[in-house]
Chain A
Amino acid sequence: MAEVEHNIHRWVGDQKPWTQEQTRAQFRAIANLRWYIFRNGLRRKGGMSELIGTILLIPLFLAIIIGPALGVGFLAGMFVHKGHFQYIVLLLWAIFLLAQLTSIQLGQAGTTFDPTQLIRFPLNFRGYAAIRVFFGLLSPANAVSTLMSLTMAIGITVAEPRIWFYAFLTMGVFAIANIFFTRMLFIWVDRWLSTRRAREVFTALIFTFGMAAQYLNFTFNLNRHHGHLTPVNAARLAAATRFYHHSEPYLALLPPGLTSNSILAAHSGQPATFAAEVLGVLAFAVLFFVIFATRLYKEFRGENLSDVANAVAKTPARRHVTTAAIVAPVSSASPLHFSAPSTVAAVLGKEFLTLRRNTGIFYALVAPLIMVVFFANLKAGHLGTDLLFASAVAYTLMGVAPLCYNSLGLEAAGIQFFFLAPVRMRDVFIAKNLMNIGLAVVEIVAVFCAITVIGRPPSALVAVSVVLWAAFTMFISMAVGNHRSVTAPKKVDIAKMGMAKNQTGQLSAFISIGVMLVAAGVGAGIYAAAHFWDKPWIMPLAALVLAIIGFFAYDRSLRTLDQLLADHRDTLSETLCKA
């Protein structure tokens, strides 16, 4: 040991000038780091199945993008061949928008570690920027836009071989501008979404946008009008076309417009105009890169993007806690008496607080209700309120039931408290399930009120039957969900959570959908049987039997929970407690 210590002290810290080779070694080290992280990731639980999933997804992704890419190339060639140059800009806008949508849906290429950690090493800004640019090039969005730009260039070349050089040059510059635009956009979005409040606002915007899109879909979908344009829709389409023509001169100044005009210039044999248009696109690319680099530079200098600083800033001034304030609640009850109701009440209170601060779940609950309102407005007359109520309740339960399947996900390392505290896990789960039932009740009441206001209330027989069926569905979902929560937990990072997705594992999500489908099938069977025999009283009776069966199944599952949790304590700790 002494020899080793001696060796450590022997190192001579003579500093020679930093060399290019050392910079190249840094790049290689980061490439190796990514490989090690990927390779070692396979060693952890579920790592191999994640890899298999990714391998299966790659051909699917390629199949999805290769088709449109070939289509874009074909259309570009056809437009050039037929002289319809005015349509090329539409293809370019489509590529541009598709790149952004792909980024939103599939995300940016992750570096599998927080790249801002690299700023502690002796990297200069150029090196840091190069690493950030280079390691983000393989994102799905970049792949989509680059591939489509390439096929467009090929299509144009096939249609008019003499402008092949111009086609590849301008489409190459367009692809670069697209890449930098996406990188610029998302690095700034990351900055804006660095606080929980900003993420909540963003989620609200996405939610509103999604609901608005659904509203437009319900209201203007041409297929709903038997493929014919109604006079109202025709007028709206004409207005949209006029708006497009008015904005066309301005759109021509943006990269898709400039690229389209450059192709036209190349076709017309105007190299100067072509050069000006391409330089315009290049200027945009440089602008996007500069804005991207501005943000990178702030990262490189070191900045705080977490909620922590803000949380500290908002911490109220320290106040002295009086003895009375602490003693009163404790002294009012025997400290050694931990009754189940107090456990349930405490956990229920905590669940409520968590729910109140989780906008993702909030939107997941509200969205189905809004959809029901849209749908009820349109279909109340066609379906009848009985069937509408039944389908609306089933639909809204699809937002509530999945929450049972990862009840411990939000606890993270806090799960250890439940292991330490003198509580039975069945009481903890009862509280969590009471919250699930409470949410289901709120949803059902809201659906009932919405349908009553829009049309008329469903018949009492149907209303009772549907409520009993909902109870059956929730009991079964909770029984299965509690089991999955213990045996297949998934840690949910509340700091990164925006939308409600990813709150359960993939398999649990499939199981929850399966349970809902089976329950819906049983419900539909009862409804059909009651109508077939013309005996409506069958519905509430059968639903009551189902609810009772569901309750017993749930009760039975609760009895096994503590043992189940003891058997899976290691899995839970490993999954929920580690970073």
Chain B
Amino acid sequence: MTPAIAAQSLTRTFDGGFTAVDHIDLAVEPGQFFGFLGPNGAGKSTTIKMLTGLLAPTAGTVSILGEDLVANPVEVKRNIGVVPEGMALFGRLTASEYLNFVGRMYGLDKPTTQQRAEELLEFMGLANEQKKLITDFSHGMGKKLALAAAVIHNPRVLFLDEPFEGVDAIAAGTLKAMLQGMIARGVTIFLTSHVLEIVERLCTHIAIIHRGHIVANGSLDELRAGVQARLAPDASGQSHSKLTLEEIFLATVGSETGITNPEQELSWLK
């Protein structure tokens, strides 16, 4: 089966010689809810930018639904929806104006765009904020609007960079249900989030990037098995069969991030 998202030897080196993403390979199957994790500065957002055409790779290829991103950017972009790192909203528009603009840019006709914009605003709980400029939105409202803009054209692949950041619990629950509904219809979702509980609950596959390299990739069980193989049973002789994603993540990258036990280091906080 053609992967929904495929990246081969994807690399990005910046002007100063810093390589943020270093020859990574990814293959996300259609209908997968794919979690992409990593510590701060690991290369998550750079990877998403390259996968969505916002940043040119220094080397490597990207194809979405079998279409090469460089050779056929229009076909790729009309099939994907993105909630980028900075949300990329136009502050001086209202939410309705923004959604209508985005819909038209994705080739929807006017009546369809208007209908979907209204439905999305209602769904996201933004229908009562019609006259407010986006610049006056709270962070959470901005996130909800960015997500609405990402799905207005009914994309087949959705890239979400920290979509739940700042979103209240009620809205987050609704959004999660919506995303799971999209997965059930065969949409592929590529998600980054620092909230590991959400990733653990939603994602069927997970990759962990660290210092520009993929250091773990597979289903949660596969990741768990990989960590178990590395860790010896603890002092009580228990195995690590119930490792949470947080424990897996920390076991994979935590020891290299430089963060040590805070109680040991910052004794003056006691």
On A, residues with C-beta under 8 Å from B are 1, 4-5, 7-9, 11-13, 15, 18-19, 22, 25-26, 28-30, 32-33, 36-37, 40-41, 43-44, 112-113, 117-125, 195, 298, 300-304, 309-310, 312-314, 318-321, 323, 326-327, 330-331, 578-579
A123–B52 Cα distance when bound, in Å, is 13
Binds A, one of B75-83, B227-235, B241-249: B75-83
State whether A326 touches B266 (Cβ < 8 A).
yes
Contact sample, A vs B, 10 pairs, CB 8 Å cutoff? A9-B181, A13-B79, A25-B107, A44-B92, A121-B77, A123-B74, A309-B14, A318-B258, A326-B266, A331-B268
Report how many A-B pairs have Cβ atoms within 8 Å. Answer: 163
Using A9-B182, A310-B14 as known contacts, say yes or no to A122 and B77 having CB atoms under 8 A apart.
yes
A162–B133 Cα distance when bound, in Å, is 58
A326–B266 Cα distance when bound, in Å, is 8
State whether B119 touches A8 (Cβ < 8 A).
yes
A9–B184 Cα distance when bound, in Å, is 10
Max chain A C-beta neighbours (<10 A), residue from B56, B79, B82, B105: B105
State whether B119 touches A124 (Cβ < 8 A).
no
CB within 8 Å of A: which B74-118 residues: 74-79, 82, 84, 88, 90-94, 97, 100-102, 104-107, 109-110, 116
A301–B56 Cα distance when bound, in Å, is 5
State whether A122 touches B181 (Cβ < 8 A).
no
B59 CB-CB contact with A under 8 Å: no
Given contacts A33-B90, A122-B76, 20 further A-B contacts (CB under 8 A): A5-B177, A9-B182, A32-B104, A33-B101, A40-B94, A113-B90, A122-B75, A123-B105, A124-B74, A195-B15, A300-B73, A301-B56, A309-B18, A310-B15, A313-B15, A313-B17, A314-B18, A321-B265, A323-B266, A326-B266
A227–B127 Cα distance when bound, in Å, is 73
Q: Report B-chain residues with C-beta under 8 Å of the C-beta of A323.
A: 265-268
Q: Report B-chain residues with C-beta under 8 Å of the C-beta of A41.
A: 92
B195 CB-CB contact with A under 8 Å: no
Max chain B C-beta neighbours (<10 A), residue from A298, A300, A303, A309: A309
State whether B53 touches A120 (Cβ < 8 A).
yes
A178–B101 Cα distance when bound, in Å, is 33
A4–B121 Cα distance when bound, in Å, is 10
State whether B260 touches A330 (Cβ < 8 A).
no
A118–B52 Cα distance when bound, in Å, is 13
A301–B267 Cα distance when bound, in Å, is 50
Binds A, one of B28-36, B149-157, B197-205, B213-221: B149-157
Using A11-B154, A18-B78, A310-B14 as known contacts, say yes or no to A33 and B93 having CB atoms under 8 A apart.
yes
State whether B155 touches A13 (Cβ < 8 A).
yes
Interface size class of B (residues with CB under 8 A): 35 or more
List the B residue with the shortest CB-CB distance to A195. Answer: B15
List the B residue with the shortest CB-CB distance to A26. Answer: B105
Kindly provide the distance from the CB of B31 to the nearest chain A CB, expressed in whole angstroms: 13
Kindly provide the distance from the CB of B170 to the nearest chain A CB, expressed in whole angstroms: 11
A28–B109 Cα distance when bound, in Å, is 12
The contact of B84 among A5, A120, A318, A578, by CB within 8 Å, is A120
State whether A122 touches B78 (Cβ < 8 A).
yes
State whether B55 touches A302 (Cβ < 8 A).
yes
B240 CB-CB contact with A under 8 Å: no
State whether A330 touches B123 (Cβ < 8 A).
no
State whether B154 touches A13 (Cβ < 8 A).
yes
A243–B148 Cα distance when bound, in Å, is 64
On B, residues with C-beta under 8 Å from A are 14-18, 20, 41, 49-50, 52-56, 70, 73-79, 82, 84, 88, 90-94, 97, 100-102, 104-107, 109-110, 116, 119-120, 122-123, 133, 135, 151, 154-156, 174, 177-178, 181-182, 185, 257-258, 260, 265-268
Using A26-B104, A302-B54 as known contacts, say yes or no to A313 and B18 having CB atoms under 8 A apart.
yes
Kindly provide the distance from the CB of A280 to the nearest chain B CB, expressed in whole angstroms: 35
State whether A12 touches B154 (Cβ < 8 A).
yes
State whether B268 touches A11 (Cβ < 8 A).
no
State whether A8 touches B258 (Cβ < 8 A).
no
Kindly provide the distance from the CB of B108 to the nearest chain A CB, expressed in whole angstroms: 8
State whether A120 touches B265 (Cβ < 8 A).
no
State whether A36 touches B93 (Cβ < 8 A).
yes
A33–B16 Cα distance when bound, in Å, is 36
Using A11-B116, A122-B78, A309-B14 as known contacts, say yes or no to A37 and B53 having CB atoms under 8 A apart.
no
Q: Report A-chain residues with C-beta under 8 Å of the C-beta of B178.
A: 5, 8
State whether A40 touches B41 (Cβ < 8 A).
no
Kindly provide the distance from the CB of B129 to the nearest chain A CB, expressed in whole angstroms: 14
A123–B78 Cα distance when bound, in Å, is 9
State whether B97 touches A36 (Cβ < 8 A).
yes
List the B residue with the shortest CB-CB distance to A297. Answer: B56
A121–B88 Cα distance when bound, in Å, is 12
The contact of B258 among A4, A124, A195, A320, by CB within 8 Å, is A320
Q: Report B-chain residues with C-beta under 8 Å of the C-beta of A33.
A: 90, 93, 101
Kindly provide the distance from the CB of B147 to the nearest chain A CB, expressed in whole angstroms: 12
A12–B266 Cα distance when bound, in Å, is 56
Q: Report B-chain residues with C-beta under 8 Å of the C-beta of A29.
A: 100-101, 104-105
Using A9-B182, A36-B92, A323-B267 as known contacts, say yes or no to A312 and B20 having CB atoms under 8 A apart.
yes
Q: Report B-chain residues with C-beta under 8 Å of the C-beta of A43.
A: 133
State whether B78 touches A313 (Cβ < 8 A).
no
Kindly provide the distance from the CB of B146 to the nearest chain A CB, expressed in whole angstroms: 11
Kindly provide the distance from the CB of B157 to the nearest chain A CB, expressed in whole angstroms: 10
List the B residue with the shortest CB-CB distance to A321. Answer: B265
State whether A579 touches B135 (Cβ < 8 A).
yes
Q: Report B-chain residues with C-beta under 8 Å of the C-beta of A15.
A: 75, 78-79
Q: Report A-chain residues with C-beta under 8 Å of the C-beta of B177.
A: 5
State whether B93 touches A117 (Cβ < 8 A).
no
Q: Report B-chain residues with C-beta under 8 Å of the C-beta of A28.
A: 104
Using A310-B14, A579-B91 as known contacts, say yes or no to A8 and B55 having CB atoms under 8 A apart.
no
Kindly provide the distance from the CB of B90 to the nearest chain A CB, expressed in whole angstroms: 6
State whether A298 touches B107 (Cβ < 8 A).
no
List the A residue with the shortest CB-CB distance to B267. Answer: A323
The contact of A121 among B50, B105, B266, by CB within 8 Å, is B105
State whether A8 touches B54 (Cβ < 8 A).
no
Kindly provide the distance from the CB of A179 to the nearest chain B CB, expressed in whole angstroms: 27
State whether A18 touches B267 (Cβ < 8 A).
no
Q: Report A-chain residues with C-beta under 8 Å of the C-beta of B93.
A: 33, 36-37, 40
Kindly provide the distance from the CB of B144 to the nearest chain A CB, expressed in whole angstroms: 14
The contact of B122 among A4, A309, A314, by CB within 8 Å, is A4
Using A26-B105, A36-B97, A120-B88 as known contacts, say yes or no to A301 and B77 having CB atoms under 8 A apart.
no
A312–B43 Cα distance when bound, in Å, is 11
Q: Report A-chain residues with C-beta under 8 Å of the C-beta of B41.
A: 312
Q: Report B-chain residues with C-beta under 8 Å of the C-beta of A9.
A: 181-182, 185
